[in-house]
Amino acid sequence: MDDNNSRNLDIYEFTKAVKDYMLGFSDSEIKTLFAYFDVDRGGSVDYDEFIRVLRGPMNPARKKLVAQAYNKLDKDGSGYIDINDIKGVYSAKTHPDVLNGKKTEEQILLEFLETFETHHSLRNNGAPDHVVTKDEFEEYYNNISASVDNDQYFELMMNNAWKINDGNKSYGKAWANKDESPNKGAAQNFGARGTAAGGRPGTAQQQQT
């Protein structure tokens, strides 16, 4: 389908694929379908957009797990997650950009929050405000979920990331608890933005508890 290996489908490639597979859509229907897949209205369809539309939203069991994770992050029970919910629990002081003086700890924490807002913002033409709503958090995991076939693996992934079933233990990957010793090195660092194996931003090892 991706004839030019751009990792995106433009309208020409999309149209060609639909016709090659003889799906029976008219040109006008293909344009409508392409617009539906092109969530961010960027004029092309990338893999995340394609798989998200094909798979649809999470099933109820996965939504329940995501809601549990959200409630655990929402430390003050306000119904949304902001920097105050994570600032008292995690530290970004060992992030490479903080150590190099490129960014402040607060900037790193705000970027972390913004990651959860991005997918929802693209679908709704919004702009991140560093306050994560339940809808934004759920849409982030709708995109993660689309690439995970097995419900048991999704549950394992969520528990590894957020320690949903571990009571009041620290629940973060790739962050440093403020009470932890600074000598734990890599276990206290979180890496560049992106999606970790646990389905949350950051790439460093899980902190020790």
Which ranges constitute the DSSP H helices of the chain? 11-20, 27-37, 47-55, 60-73, 83-87, 96-99, 105-124, 134-145, 151-162
Two structure tokens written together for 50: 């394609």
Q: State how many domains the chain has.
A: 2
Q: Which pTM does this prediction carry?
A: 0.72
114 plus 155 within the same structural domain: yes
83 plus 145 within the same structural domain: yes
Give the range of the structural domain holding residue 110, as residue numbers without chain letter. 60-188
pLDDT at 150 over 50: yes
| CA dist., res. 133 & res. 84, Å (int) | 14
160 plus 68 within the same structural domain: yes
What is the average pLDDT value for the chain, to the nearest integer? 80
Does residue 196 sit within a domain? no
pLDDT at 27 over 80: yes
| CA dist., res. 83 & res. 131, Å (int) | 8
Phi and psi at residue 91, to the nearest 5°? -125, 140
